[in-house]
DNA sequence: TATTGGTTCTGGACCGTTACGGTCACTCCA
DNA sequence: TGGAGTGACCGTAACGGTCCAGAACCAATA
């Protein structure tokens, strides 16, 4: 049995009686050799089954991988079911496509704390999207000597950042509800740390949250409602580790079971809010007359449902991250891109009913 | 200005006075050296800022890239907006994650016929999803000396394949409509080739279609309806290059403008069917009383809308493709995985009204 | 005729790592 | 005491390219 070694640049060169450089030039710099010789090279390549220069060897020599790594520590299934995450992914993919870069999804499940995948990724840079700030994968990325862009993460030394002003956005929602007269509110938030805690959240846990975005939103809510004389320690906050409408429903149920007098539920994502809407419907509560519900993200489903929410430009976020990385070499870092958001007032928020308001009357 | 060259295995080894092999072993084969020396190596690495073995150099040496390439020649924005494509992507990602492989999205816009990205992709194999069979990117992939899996594509020599039985699935739809009594039908299909043709499709173009799936579906429809004594050449078929609900609407409009007596519209995707539903509503046509509409794919939105459609396991399709590739070395090829589909009868199909049926009466 | 300039091709260094097949010292046991 | 066995480490040879400085050749110019 003769196992034919695949042809290489060297074997092609030998066959043709030219130097390796010349063969290389035939592929990469056609102007560096005569058309006739080039034709011969390519023809012989075809004859010998030479598939063209090996991409890995080329990357080693040129120090360019031609790809960008994307780290979503999120369980992939959740990422692919969250329209906001998909929008982000699309934005990144578009930016990469524009610049001819590949996009490498780095496998990093939260369970398996296997950082090896980060070490093995042949990429020219990383985009890190919404991972806990103590994530070992993130730490591994930061050790790699390539430019990095973090998205929806706290600032880090010498790392570009893309995000929105979560505090300002959430404060708008809070103001909206405060102006409507809501004082008895409940909050549904996404996971705050790597450990699972499906239930009520202490204030300590809120402050210690490792997901920057969630922490910022809760803190901004606390500040805004404190200014309206609502004691934040009395505001029930429920956390859900997973991110889907079922979680939103059960979280809403948990809040309403504890305190049926709540007049508004603030959810830190549209997905959760849609679940909360379903739970309200199930209980026969009219939205917004009996219960106000707000979301966050501005996904199409939310818009269709008439949810009051904050629209954030998820696609632009991805695109901005991609662009930042692609021309990272040209600029001094760190740079920060803060995208603008917009409060969308839908039909899921209104003033609380009088019977509820009286709790705060004279 | 002193530009510090980043540390390498060799420089680390020199600093420590050990061989490069030993440093390599410190990272890859801890059992090959004493714990004490290993500790020293890693400590010195930290001190020198050595980030661990270079992934590209390692790939070159080990002949493993640790990643799978995914080729979606589709314009990315369409892929990320098509729930079926997203489901597929998720399946592939899951399979990759399971085996610790990265997933590289190869940038290949249909406009730019730039095949270089395929040549530059450092991957151990390719998955090719629903591209025209004359696509230059596909040709480039086939030239690369790595295993390949094609999905929703015609069979190719020595290439694994994943798909469904499109003919059988579409035949079920046709039978369903025929049994209901429909004879005046119109068809809305996705793009048939790389050139844009938003409008009616000749039978020639149907047979020459370069998108295998679309061709198979049209041919199966033709066969099934011919068996029911419907002359296929009289059946209007409208093609849309892009893939969104707006296209479905305009295509339905085009069909109904041409022949208001159509009793059923068969769409080759749910997205198109949802658009057709919207157009019917706009025209005041009741579905299914005045017009039957069917889709294909079984996306959640379709289910919600009560569409009669064929459900295909898109996630499984992705997962199967990923698995096939991951253990491609273990098996002789080619292998074919054909996944099963299921006719879902919703509320968008019913018998045509008598007034229409009479056209075919005695 | 010598010089210049341009095109075409070459040789060798280098990219940073891992595979492979050793060597060497030391222990163990008959 | 000597031979086998074992653990720890090393040297060399790839892996498959690209880069760079220059050589060889030829035609045009001074």
Task: State pLDDT tens for residues B247-286.
Answer: 999 999 999 999 999 999 999 999 999 999 999 999 999 9
Closest CA to B102 of B127, B75, B131: B127
pLDDT at site B334: 85
Give the chain A residue nearest B116 (alpha carbons): A100
Residues B39-50: what's their mean pLDDT?
A: 94
Task: State pLDDT tens for residues B149-190.
Answer: 999 999 998 899 999 999 999 999 999 999 999 999 999 999
pLDDT at site B1: 33
Q: How far is the CA of B42 from the C1' of D6 (A)?
A: 25
Whether B358 shows a pLDDT value over 60: the answer reads no
pLDDT at site A116: 94
Residue A242's SS3 state is coil
Give the distance from CA B78 to its chain's centroid: 11
CATH domain A166-313+343-360 topology: Rossmann fold (3.40.50)
In the numeric block, which tokens belong to residue A144?
Answer: 């790699």
Residues of chain A with pLDDT under 50: 1-3, 356-362
Q: Model confidence at B340, in pLDDT bands (50, 70, 90)? A: very high
Q: What DSSP string runs through A181-239? A: T--SEEEEEE--SSS---EE--HHHHHT-S-HHHHHHHHHHHHHHHHTT--GGGS-EEE
pLDDT at site A176: 98
Residues of B in contact with A76 (CB under 8 A): 90, 93-94, 97
Among B60, B77, B143, the residue with its CB nearest the CB of A56 is: B60
pLDDT at site A354: 65
Residues B315-323: what's their mean pLDDT?
A: 98
**B68, β-bridge pairs:** B103
**B128, β-bridge pairs:** B71, B150
The CATH classification number of B67-163+314-338 equals 3.40.50.2300
CB within 8 Å: B102 and A105: yes
Q: Give the integer Cα–Cα distance in Å for A132 and A192.
A: 8
Measuring from the CA of residue A62 to each C1', which nucleotide is nearest? D18
CB neighbour class for B48 (10 Å; exposed up to 12, middle 13-18, buried from 19): middle
Strand A160-164 with A126-129, pairing: unpaired
Q: How many CB pairs under 8 A join A and B?
A: 128
Give the chain B residue nearest A61 (alpha carbons): B57
Q: Is the CATH number 3.30.300.30 carried by domain B166-312+343-360?
A: no
A contact residues 140-169, partner B, Cβ 8 Å cutoff: 143-145
pLDDT at site A311: 98
pLDDT at site A362: 38
Closest CA to B326 of B117, B123, B118: B123
Q: Model confidence at B5, in pLDDT bands (50, 70, 90)? A: low
CATH class of A67-160+314-335: alpha beta
pLDDT at site B359: 45
pLDDT at site A5: 61
- Domain B9-62 and domain B166-312+343-360, same fold? Reply is no
Q: Give the integer Cα–Cα distance in Å for B274 and B294.
A: 9
Task: State pLDDT tens for residues A103-130.
Answer: 999 998 767 778 999 999 999 999 999 9
Q: How many residues does chain A have?
A: 362
Domain coordinates in residue numbering, chain B: 9-62, 67-163+314-338, 166-312+343-360
Task: State pLDDT tens for residues A270-320.
Answer: 999 999 999 999 999 999 999 999 999 999 999 999 999 999 999 999 999
In the numeric block, which tokens belong to residue B28?
Answer: 């890859």
CATH domain B9-62 topology: 434 Repressor (Amino-terminal Domain) (1.10.260)
Higher-scoring residue by pLDDT: B17, B6: B17
**B310, β-bridge pairs:** B343
B contact residues 48-87, partner A, Cβ 8 Å cutoff: 51-60, 65-67, 69, 76-77, 80-81, 86-87
Alpha helices in chain A (DSSP H): 9-16, 20-28, 35-48, 55-62, 76-79, 83-98, 116-120, 136-143, 166-180, 203-207, 212-227, 245-258, 270-282, 300-305, 314-326, 354-357
Residues B340-348: what's their mean pLDDT?
A: 98
Chain-wide mean pLDDT for chain B? 93
Which residue is associated with the tokens 């966050």?
A296
Q: Give the integer Cα–Cα distance in Å for B223 and B215.
A: 12
Q: Give the integer Cα–Cα distance in Å for B117 and B72.
A: 12
Closest CA to B291 of B180, B130, B131: B180
Contact yes or no for A152/A135 (Cβ under 8 A): no
pLDDT at site A1: 34
CB within 8 Å: B93 and A114: no
B100 touches chain A (CB under 8 A): yes
């Amino acid at each position: 049995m003769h196992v034919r070694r695949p042809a290489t640049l060297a074997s092609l060169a030998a066959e043709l009686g030219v130097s390796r450089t010349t063969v290389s030039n035939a592929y990469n710099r056609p102007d560096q050799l005569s058309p006739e010789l080039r034709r011969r090279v390519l023809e012989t390549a075809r004859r010998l089954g030479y598939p063209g220069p090996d991409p890995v060897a080329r990357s080693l020599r040129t120090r360019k991988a031609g790809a960008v790594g994307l780290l979503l520590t999120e369980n992939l299934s959740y990422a692919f079911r969250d329209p906001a995450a998909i929008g982000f992914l699309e934005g990144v993919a578009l930016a990469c496509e524009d610049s001819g870069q590949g996009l490498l999804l780095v496998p990093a499940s939260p369970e398996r704390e296997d950082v090896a995948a980060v070490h093995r990724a042949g990429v020219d840079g990383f985009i890190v999207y919404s991972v806990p700030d103590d994530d070992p994968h993130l730490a591994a990325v930061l050790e790699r000597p390539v430019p990095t862009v973090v998205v929806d993460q706290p600032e880090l030394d010498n790392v570009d950042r893309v995000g929105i002003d979560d505090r300002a956005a959430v404060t708008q929602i809070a103001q909206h509800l405060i102006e409507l007269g809501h004082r008895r509110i409940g909050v549904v938030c996404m996971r705050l740390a790597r450990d699972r805690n499906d239930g009520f959240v202490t204030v300590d846990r809120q402050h210690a949250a490792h997901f920057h975005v969630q922490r910022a939103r809760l803190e901004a809510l606390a500040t805004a409602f404190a200014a309206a004389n609502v004691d934040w320690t009395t505001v029930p906050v429920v956390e859900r580790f997973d991110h889907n409408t079922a979680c939103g429903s059960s979280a809403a149920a948990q809040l309403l079971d504890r305190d049926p007098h709540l007049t508004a539920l603030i959810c830190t994502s549209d997905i959760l809010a849609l679940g909360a809407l379903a739970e309200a419907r199930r209980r026969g509560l009219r939205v917004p007359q009996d219960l106000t519900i707000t979301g966050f993200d501005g996904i199409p489903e939310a818009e269709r449902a008439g949810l009051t929410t904050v629209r954030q430009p998820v696609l632009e976020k991805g695109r901005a991250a991609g662009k930042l990385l692609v021309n990272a070499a040209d600029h001094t870092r760190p740079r920060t891109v803060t995208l603008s958001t917009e409060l969308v007032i839908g039909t899921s928020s209104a003033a609380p009913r009088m019977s509820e308001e009286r709790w705060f009357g004279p």
